[in-house]
Structure 1
Amino acid sequence: MTHLAIIGGGGFRIPLIVHALTTSHRTLRLSRLTLIDVDDDRLAAMRAIVTDQLRSSPHLDLELTTTNDLAAGLIGADVIFVAVRPGGVEGRVIDELTALEHDFLGQETVGVAGMAYALRTIPVARKFAATIADVAPDAWTINFTNPAGVITQAMREHLGPRVVGICDTPIALLRRARAALDLAPATSGSFDYLGLNHLGWLRSLVVDGTDRLPELLSDEARLGTLEEAQLMGTQWISRVGALPNEYLFYYYRHREALAAISASETRGQFLAAQQHHFYELCTHEEHPYELWNRTRAARDASYMAEGRAPEDRYARETAEIEQGGYQEVALDAMTAFLHDEPATMILNVGNTDTPDGAPVIPGLPNDAVIEVGCHVDTGGAHPWPIAPARGDMLALMLAIKECDALLLSATKHGDYELAARAFGTHPLVDSVDAADALLTAYCERIPAIREALSYPHPLP
């Protein structure tokens, strides 16, 4: 039987994982679920919600435990999910608003706000990975924590290929492309997806020996049904010659994204208000799972609202909301790792996690974490060979991975100057002076960043 431990067990999305567990067709054989969190109040709230949720699944004989002791909670774990937010959603609000005050994009995983999130999260992720390596060295670790690419890379310092990062956006892109071509979800075939977390492209979709992607790219009506086209425009996607991950909206339409975010509350502000209200009500609810479901619906409808017209900002497609998310991806990986049910997935893995150690994406560093298609089995995640990266795609990936490398070194050595280089050279930064002023502001406002970088100046 299987023991699943979740670091960040008081997080809002835990019931999504439990729902996937209770409705899964997979051979999970799960016997124990341990929720681990340092926030005792949120942990108690989530225990109440999950307990209420499990009442409707009496067939699932699951032992639920909660703890704030990391090492104790990991003992005996076969699989570990890591889904944390150091500093809470309040930290995200500071990340985003501080960036906007300095005329930079305020988005959780992209640009300077994403780097701020990474700076306060990388040291925590390293501590988690070290503890896992000590207490549960044979466990598989699946990282949900954003920014997923650089956080997974930090955890690999201790765990190597036994940690992978997951995101649902690539597989959702693939699902939407198939639907636009009127292909059944389970249609056999192959695909070529290349990129980093929140920065990638679907470059081919082969069915019965024919690449159907050019057909989709040339059909404006069908292409226009995709969320990615609604964000970035059918003309631009046709010019790119590939379907971009939805997060490339922030690169390809940076001005429009910045203007939209600046004109309304940030995603972090929305979630902070919503979650404060939710957790406050939760302890008084007779059926907290119903409250959670209502709150989740509003949360999902507002996802990437800045990419839609004002009148549609909180009207995301119902069908898109109801599709399986990252929890489904995680369970596919978990089942493949543990129960010899191989899967084809898009995961965050090492660039040289190949039989001969050759890089999957030549031109990127060997230790880079990339997001590509993989075969997954009890031996791990095995990225398959893909076509070479086109120059514009490689240049953008290389710039981001250089920033990641600088952030990793900066947090390892407590070096403000390395972090300042990362901020100054990011593709979405247009002024090194403004970037330096922003990083100084982050150090002054966020103790975790100040500590991570051994900030050398006295506070005002």
Structure 2
Amino acid sequence: MSALKLAIVGGGSTYTPELIDGFARLRDTLPIGELVLVDPAADRLELIGGLARRIFAKQGHGAVVTTTTDIEAGVADADAVLLQLRVGGQAARNQDETWPLECGCVGQETTGAGGLAKALRTVPVVLDIAEKVRRANPDAWIVDFTNPVGIVTRALREAGHKAVGLCNVAIGFQRRFAKHLGVDPELVRLDHVGLNHLSWERGVTLLDAPGAAGGREVLPELLAGFGKEIADDIRLPRRVVERLGVVPSYYLRYFYQHDLVVEELKVKGSRAAEVAEIERQLLELYADPALDTKPELLDRRGGAFYSEAAVQLIAALLGTGGGTSVQVVNTRNDGVLPFLPDDAVIEVPAEVDAAGVRPLPQRPLEPLYAGLVAAVTSYEHLALDAALRGGRDRVFDALLAHPLVGQIELADRLTDRLLAHNREHLAWA
């Protein structure tokens, strides 16, 4: 197969060098001939583009790196387009993580009222980009890493785009479990189920060889031997993890310990402020013409292992990864979780290859988790409706349906604050 052309929309992100590092290291899996970084921030593009060229050169990678502020030009003839944008930047994120606290609710960029604000700002922009991709090359795959991934992916799929959502939660668990077990990560297969940022590891299988059938269930062994480390990692009490017998994602803490998290956030302040300072330092590092590796500071930016997950997914979709592979992705439900509508977007293992994405069958989801999944799916349906059609009433409905809100007076106050802080990003407001 000839070398591929990839485009990253949001390529001026300080996180992009993580992707570049993965592309360079894993070039045998994903042979890239041209990489286009697309971003409206021309000054950042120059910094990131220069560092990307140096990383490729240091590792002997021959890909051409180009930069542009023009989306149509950037995605033209691309085999795959990665979306990693943040409408409103860290300033909008800081608001998402601040004003909900005034109402006693979690302030977070993908969960609760802050997550709804991000969805409202993001969905119209992503759909506009996707239309430009479709006009430029209708066969191109769109890989969405833009949060909230579940809602954004559902918007893309409902609009008929060749799109799949990707999150680093599952691959992060795989890597950490493999480290505990002292094995290669490719020998660890997860029984991962739920929605984006609302998922559980119900099983962990240790394989005899990468991609092999069968294997041995080792989750009880992991919880017995490394229960404290696992609980500390997801910041939940060990007794709860052991009682459940599963490993919830970190984001379940916003549901299981909502009030405690609110009090912590009021003291600690927003993650956005911390990330903004990290980004400032990273941009200073990126400006050094001698820098030709991913700096260690980038690990504190978040998104660990995303590059490996992205390479595996894109290689499978474009047929360079050696056939069908099983990967955790965000895709249409299509009956996999029968209590959800077919057009819901779920996060589960799926077979991925050049023919597309096929979610694997799942055993029935336990009532302890199914109720929450159903409630959040209903919220996501209403959130997408609000993002597509606008209107205060639709925003209110989505908030009222959210399990972390669910009260009329609270939904009213949150709606007013959401609109006040986001009018410049909402054409209908």
Q: Equivalences for 1:190-201 in 2 at 5 Å? A: 191-201=190-200
Please point out which of 274, 277, 289 is paired with 1:273: 277
- What residue number does 1:180 align with? 180
In the other structure, the counterpart of 1:306 is none
Match of 1:12 in 2: 14
- 1:425 aligned residue (387, 398, 401): 401
Contact 2:191/2:204 (CA < 8 Å) preserved in 1?
A: yes
Does structure 1 conserve the Cα–Cα contact (< 8 Å) formed by 2:18 and 2:298? no
Equivalent in the alignment of 1:240: 244
Q: Are 1:259 and 2:263 an aligned pair?
A: yes
2:169 paired residue number: 169
Residue pairs, 1:69-148, within 5 angstroms: 69-148=70-149
What CA deviation, in whole Å up to 9, does each residue of 1:378-432 have, x standing for no partner?
A: 1112111110111121111111111111111112222221111111221112533
Indicate the SS of the match to 2:47.
helix
Task: Measure, in 2, the Cα distance between the counterparts of 1:8 and 1:73.
Answer: 11
Provide the C-alpha distance between the structure 2 equivalents of 1:195 and 1:120, rounded to a whole number of angstroms: 24
Measure, in 2, the Cα distance between the counterparts of 1:299 and 1:27. Answer: 26
The aligned counterpart of 1:405 is: 381
Q: 2:218 aligns with which of 203, 212, 217?
A: 212
Equivalent position of 1:311 in the other structure: none
- Shift of residue 28, structure 1, vs aligned partner: 1.8
Between 1:270-279 and 1:67-76, the stretch displaced more is 270-279
Report percent identity of matched pairs: 31
d(CA) in 1 for partners of 2:381 and 2:144? 18
Provide the residue aligned with 1:310 in structure 2: none
Are positions 1:345 and 2:353 aligned together? no
Change in CA separation of 1:159 and 1:61 when aligned onto 2, cut-off 3 Å: farther
Compared with structure 1, are the counterparts of its residues 287 and 143 closer, same or farther at alpha carbon in structure 2 (3 Å cutoff)?
same
| Matches of 1:283 and 1:373, distance apart in 2 | 36
Aligned counterparts of 1:438 and 1:360: Cα–Cα separation in 2? 34
3-state DSSP class of the match of 1:226?
A: helix
Secondary structure in structure 1 of the residue aligned to 2:97: helix
Q: Secondary structure at the match of 2:185?
A: coil
CA distance in 1, matches of 2:280, 2:232: 31
Unaligned runs of 5+ in 1: 304-323, 353-358, 456-460
Given the alignment, which residue of 287, 298, 310 partners 1:330?
310
Distance 1:421 1:183, change over 3 A: same
Q: Which AA in structure 2 matches 1:333?
A: L
Q: What amino acid sits opposite 1:268 in the alignment?
A: A
CA distance in 2, matches of 1:119, 1:230: 28
TM-score (norm 1): 0.85
Q: Structure 1 residues 361 and 283, CA, compared in 2 at 3 Å: closer, same or farther?
A: closer
| Aligned AA (2:414) | L
Give the letter aligned to residue 173 of structure 1: F
- Are the counterparts in 2 of residues 229 and 237 from structure 1 also a CA contact under 8 Å? no
Q: 1:283 to 1:246 in 2, by over 3 A?
A: closer
Contact 2:231 / 2:238 at 8 angstroms: preserved in 1? no
**Residues in 1 aligned to 2:32 and 2:423: alpha-carbon distance in whole angstroms:** 39
Matches of 2:278 and 2:183 in 1, distance apart? Answer: 38
Q: CA deviation at 1:74?
A: 0.8
Structure with greater contact order relative to length (CA < 8 Å, sep ≥ 6): 2
2:234/2:248 contact within 8 Å kept: no
Letter in 2 for 1:203: R
Equivalent residue for 1:438? Answer: 414
How far is 1:236 from its partner?
Answer: 0.6
Q: Could you say what secondary structure the match of 1:26 adopts?
A: coil
Q: Tell me the TM-score normalised to structure 2 length.
A: 0.91
Matching residue's letter, 2:340: L
Deviation at 1:16, TM superposition (A): 0.8
In the alignment, structure 1 residue 363 sits paired with structure 2 residue 339 = yes
| 1:21-62, Cα deviation, whole Å (9 max, x unpaired) | 1111633221000011111121122122223323312x2111
Q: How far did residue 442 of structure 1 move?
A: 2.0
Distance 1:163 1:228, change over 3 A: farther
Comparing 9-18 with 332-341, greater Cα deviation is found at 332-341
In structure 2, relative to structure 1, the CA distance for the partners of 1:42 and 1:25 (3 Å cut) is closer
User: Are 1:384 and 2:386 an aligned pair?
Assistant: no
Instruction: Mark the CA change 1:283 to 1:374 in structure 2 (over 3 Å): closer, same or farther.
Output: closer
> Which whole-Å CA distance do the structure 1 matches of 2:91 and 2:221 have between them?
45
Aligned to 1:67: 68
**3-state SS, counterpart of residue 295 of structure 2:** helix
User: Is the CA contact 2:192–2:199 (under 8 Å) kept in the aligned structure 1?
Assistant: yes
- 2:92, 2:183 → 1: CA distance? 42
Mapped contact 2:174–2:185 kept (Cα < 8 A)? no
Answer yes or no: is the 8 Å Cα contact 1:174–1:202 preserved in 2: no
- Report the CA distance shift for 1:186/1:54 in structure 2 as closer, same or farther (over 3 A): closer
Distance 1:27 1:205, change over 3 A: closer
1:65-120: CA deviation from partner (whole Å, max 9, x where unpaired): 11111111111100110000000111101111111222211111111111111111
Deviation at 1:159, TM superposition (A): 3.8
Gaps (5+ residues) in structure 2?
A: 207-213
Task: Kindly report the root-mean-square deviation, in angstroms, between the aligned alpha carbons of the 2 structures.
Answer: 2.2
Name the CA shift for 1:26/1:286 in 2 (closer, same or farther; >3 Å): closer
Q: Summarize deviations over 1:289-331 as a string: whole Å, max 9, x none.
A: 56x715414435xx9xxxxxxxxxxxxxxxxxxxx61111010
Q: How far apart are 1:336 and its partner, in Å?
A: 0.9
For the residues of structure 2 that align with 1:41 and 1:286, how far apart are their CA atoms? 15
- Looking at structure 1, the residues matched to 287 and 362 of structure 2 have their Cα atoms a distance apart, in angstroms, of 53
